[in-house]
Amino acid sequence: MATFWELLFNFFFPLQCINCRRLLTADNKDRVCGDCWSRIIYLNRPIDIRLSLEEIWSVAVYDGVLRKLIHQFKYKEKKYLANPLGKLMVDFVEEYLEEEKFDYIIPIPLEKARQKKRGYNQAELLARILGEAVNKPILTNLVERRKKTKPQFELNKKERFENLSGAFEISESVKEDVATIAGKTVLLLDDLATTGATLDECAKTLKRAGVSEVYALVLAHGI
């Protein structure tokens, strides 16, 4: 229920759905209306990309409402969307991955200059919400990008894999802690997967460091 001050603020500055601009109630923290949520095309299943991973799961299809929300989240500084988008991932894990065992969650790292310009790593924000909900530790500093890469959306499938080749490494600052992940199972987390090139390259790096199994969960799959 909305507080008095929230109701008063909403009277003068009405909340609108970030996607369709429909007026919202004062207690709508997500800033997305129910109709827009209902138009997301859920997958709730593994996607047919394995590569160096045991399995990749996607919550939904990268289209329509979800595509717009992810764009606002990543490029328009709408950090508050981490909460409702992260909740989609939490719901997925609690319903579909109950029996899956993973020891750590690792968000896909951004290239340092890109993260500095954006101000945050969207995958890390989502990972923190999931980690807190399922009580799993988040390793944010284990893997880092060793080279600057072109944006993946500019490239075809072959170019995407070439672009990411050798892009990740275990961070020098935590190499003494690598033994803690040896033989463990890791869940890689990102907002989007299309060809799976980013997840694949990161998984290779982790397996070279001794990780036993690497799974991945993404918010959306660009079919």
pLDDT of residue 29 exceeding 50, the answer is: yes
* Lowest-pLDDT choice from 2-11, 24-33, 45-54, 212-221: 2-11
Give dist(CA 170, CA 168) in Å, integer. 7
The arithmetic mean of pLDDT across residues 71-83, rounded, is: 94
**C-alpha distances in angstroms, 63 versus 40, 99, 100, 192, 223?**
8, 29, 27, 11, 9
Sheet order of strands, 42-46 included: 42-46, 55-61, 213-221, 185-193, 104-107
Q: Which residue has the higher pLDDT, 8 or 180?
A: 180
> Would you kindly state where each structural domain of the chain is located, as residue ranges?
1-38, 40-221
Reported as a single tens digit per residue, the pLDDT across 104-158 is: 999 999 988 888 888 999 999 999 999 999 999 999 989 998 877 766 666 667 7
Q: What would the two tokens of residue 188 be?
A: 């890689």
Give dist(CA 110, CA 92) in Å, integer. 24
pLDDT of residue 5 exceeding 60, the answer is: no
pLDDT of residue 191 exceeding 50, the answer is: yes
**Count of Cβ atoms closer than 10 Å to residue 223 Cβ:** 12
The arithmetic mean of pLDDT across residues 168-184, rounded, is: 83
* Lowest-pLDDT choice from 23-32, 64-73, 125-134: 23-32
* Lowest-pLDDT choice from 98-112, 149-163, 183-197: 149-163
Whether residue 121 contacts residue 110, with contact meaning beta carbons closer than 8 Å, is answered with yes
Reported as a single tens digit per residue, the pLDDT across 30-57 is: 889 999 999 999 997 788 776 889 999 9
Q: What is the CATH number of domain 40-221?
A: 3.40.50.2020
Average pLDDT value over all residues in the chain: 86
Q: Which residue has the higher pLDDT, 156 or 217?
A: 217
**Count of Cβ atoms closer than 10 Å to residue 45 Cβ:** 12
Residues β-bridged to residue 187: 105, 215
The label of the residue with tokens 């990749």 reads: 56
